[in-house]
Amino acid sequence: MQRLYSMFPRGGPGLGLLLLRTVTAAMFVLNVTHRFNFSSRALYWAVVTLIVMISFSLCLGFLTPVLAVVACAAAVANLFLADQPGNFVYIFRTLTAAALICLGPGAYSVDAKLFGLRVTIVPPRKNMP
């Protein structure tokens, strides 16, 4: 009997990864806008546009591993720059982004469409004499 493994899980796990991407994008926005203080309007709108593009791409599942690293880095930066040391909210934000890095985007993502729903076929084990 052959086992099929998909790099982009469907069904319940795929929906779970969609929710994880959405939550990571929302927490990225909270992490980056936490210390939002710009004197220039042009710089303000450039940063806002970049934040919106990154969070929207995360929600859609476009370049998920790369953008999840960016979200994780923002959470780690806020962890060390926090006003209250030991604030567990930033630790949970870091762990959520790290989980997305490890798990990938899922079947309901742009990455799955770009890189294909490849299936790995693992042959059955041979019994050793």
Tens digit of pLDDT for each residue in 65-110? 999 999 999 888 888 877 766 678 888 889 999 999 999 898 889 9
Determine, yes or no, domain membership for 102.
yes
For residue 94, tell me if it sits in a domain: yes
* 127 belongs to a structural domain: no
pLDDT at 126: 79
**Does some domain include residue 101?**
yes
Position 100 in a domain: yes
Domain containing 26 equals: 3-119
When divided into structural domains, the chain yields a total of: 1
d(CA 99, CA 68): 9
Residue 27 belongs to a domain = yes
Would residue 21 count as lying in a domain?
A: yes
- Angstrom distance (rounded) from CA 96 to CA 75: 10
- From CA 48, how far away is CA 16, in angstroms rounded? 28
* Global confidence as pTM: 0.78
Residue type at position 42: A
